[in-house]
Amino acid sequence: MNQKKILLSLALLPLVTLLNFTTPEKAGVDTTENSSKALSGKITMSGAYALYPMAVKWGEEFKKLNPGVTFDIQGGGAGKGMTDVLSGTVNFGMVSRDISPEEVKKGAYGIAVCKDAVIPVINPNNPYLDLIKQKGITRNQFYKIFITGEITTWGEVLGNKSMKPIKIFTRSDAAGAAESWAKFLGNAYKQEDLMGTGVFGDPGLAQAVAKDPLGMGFNNINFVYDNKSRKPQPGLFPCPIDLNNNRVFDAAENVYGSLDIIDDAILSGAYPSPPARALYLVTKGKPTNPLMVAFLQWVLADGQRYLDEAGFVKLPADLLKKEASSLTTTN
């Protein structure tokens, strides 16, 4: 796929989302009263782009087992998912960040379902790509680029005389990816502390970096890598993080070669957390509806088999067991 096609596909992604998954009118789960009968009804979700492809896969597979169940799933960012579920617009909000105490007070109940990561990205046509590959970029340098603005040129990052500016992009919508990237730069920081040109959605941010050789941003892992080839998207290059600050991108730090390698690094902890993070399906109050509970129990058990194929990472077995045991169809 050439650069033009990549940009076109990234540009069309939000439209495909709109065509395939229309805005839910109202959360409505038409369940059977008797659990021994086949499940039927409609499950609605909205929220994080990070979890969207996995939710679609889970919906497809669950529907094969339960043909009477339909799904209405749309992206829009973690903030939209949280707003929609708390307002009763959808059954599940897809959220790719920690749930705040204020949201818990409003009734948000999060069920951790898998793990992924946010990856810093640059353009593969960056004129200093070879030097970036040799040195990587330290956490403190990212901090001075995204938080304080002390670093504004590629020369300041790489120690040469380049005065070419770093074109910084961030998310304009309330996004778990932006929240996770900010916390990587300092636990006290939030999305609104990040500098850069605001771009809506994961597809939009990926497209912005892919169009600008001097660009830098961050994306959810499934927008950085092609799920079929398992390689980075041609329009994006995972920006190596110099985790030990020695200004040499060591072999142990090189975890970006493929989706499988970065997934292993997330699982082992070789890639830091944050920006690795748990992903949640959030309900308004503890779920007791039979269809919602049945779907969640399936996600936490058989549904886990699809994570690797889709480029996501399993949560520890004890956490999955704890989440599943908390589910019940009675209050």
pLDDT of residue 326: 86
Pairing of strands 276-284, 108-122: antiparallel
Separation CA 304–CA 301 (nearest Å): 6
Separation CA 115–CA 2 (nearest Å): 30
Q: Which residues contact 17 (CB under 8 A, 6 or more apart)?
A: 52, 74, 75
pLDDT of residue 316: 87
Separation CA 213–CA 218 (nearest Å): 15
Query: Among residues of the chain, what percentage have pLDDT more than 70?
Result: 88
Each residue's pLDDT expressed in tens, for the chain with a length of 331 residues? 444 444 434 443 443 333 333 334 444 444 444 444 679 999 999 999 999 999 999 999 999 999 999 999 999 999 999 999 999 999 999 999 989 999 999 999 999 999 999 999 999 999 999 999 999 999 999 999 999 999 999 999 999 999 999 999 999 998 989 999 999 999 999 999 999 999 999 999 999 999 999 999 999 998 999 988 999 999 999 999 999 999 999 988 999 999 999 999 998 999 999 999 999 999 999 999 999 999 999 999 999 999 988 889 999 888 899 999 888 755 4
pLDDT of residue 213: 98
Instruction: Extract the tokens encoding 310.
Output: 């889709």
Handedness of CA 62, 67, 70, 73 (dihedral sign): positive
Q: Is 121 left (phi over 0), alpha (psi -120 to 50) or beta?
A: beta
pTM: 0.81
Per-residue model confidence as pLDDT tens digits over 38-97: 799 999 999 999 999 999 999 999 999 999 999 999 999 999 999 999 999 999 999 999
Contact present, 17 and 75 (Cβ < 8 Å)? yes
Q: Which residues contact 25 (CB under 8 A, 6 or more apart)?
A: none
Separation CA 22–CA 82 (nearest Å): 18
pLDDT of residue 327: 86
Query: What is the chain's mean pLDDT, rounded?
Result: 88
pLDDT of residue 27: 43
pLDDT of residue 14: 41
Contact present, 243 and 100 (Cβ < 8 Å)? no
Residues forming beta bridges with residue 108, ordered by sequence position: 284
